Amino acid sequence: MEQLQRLFNAQVSRFLDQASKFMNAVMITAEPGLPVRLKAKDQGPTAFDAFSERAATFTDAQQRVFELLITGLPNKLIAHEIGVSKATVKVHVSAVLRKLQVSTRAQVIALSCAFERNRNARSQPSSDGDASANK
């Protein structure tokens, strides 16, 4: 029983470490003072467009792993959630990192958050441009 308690405590500690990394990544990307840079329509693709293009190359399995990875889950819980081995999850995580051209899980989370924030900013109409166009 004591060994089981130690294993449980180790898993909780790892989970909290991953959650902390996730929260740090979110805080970095969600800081209000950070500008959201939008390019004009006639310019080339932005980094966020590249994210979308790269994410579009995910296999179905990589997409499922990506969706759980950005929630901060460790490989063991991702494996349990989708019913595969931890080694299989590691392979998919490595492929996601490679395709997104990043080296850490925190960078995947940060890039995904920044992409979503930028996409939301693009979908909201500009109050300046729309009002002047109608006058």
Question: How does residue 47 score in pLDDT terms, banded at 50, 70 and 90?
Answer: low
Q: Which CATH number fits domain 2-32+51-123: 1.10.150.130, 3.40.50.620, 1.10.10.10, 2.60.200.20?
A: 1.10.10.10
Q: What is the CA radius of gyration of the chain?
A: 19
Q: How many beta carbons lie within 10 A of that of residue 95, not counting itself?
A: 17
Greater model confidence, 5 or 26: 5
Model confidence pLDDT, tens digit, residues 73-130? 999 999 999 999 999 999 999 999 999 988 999 989 888 888 888 777 777 765 555 5
Q: How far apart are CA 94 and CA 88, in angstroms?
A: 10
How confident is the model over 41-61, as a mean pLDDT?
Answer: 73
Digit-coded pLDDT (tens) for 20-44? 776 666 666 555 555 444 444 444 4
- How do the domains of the chain map onto residue ranges? 2-32+51-123
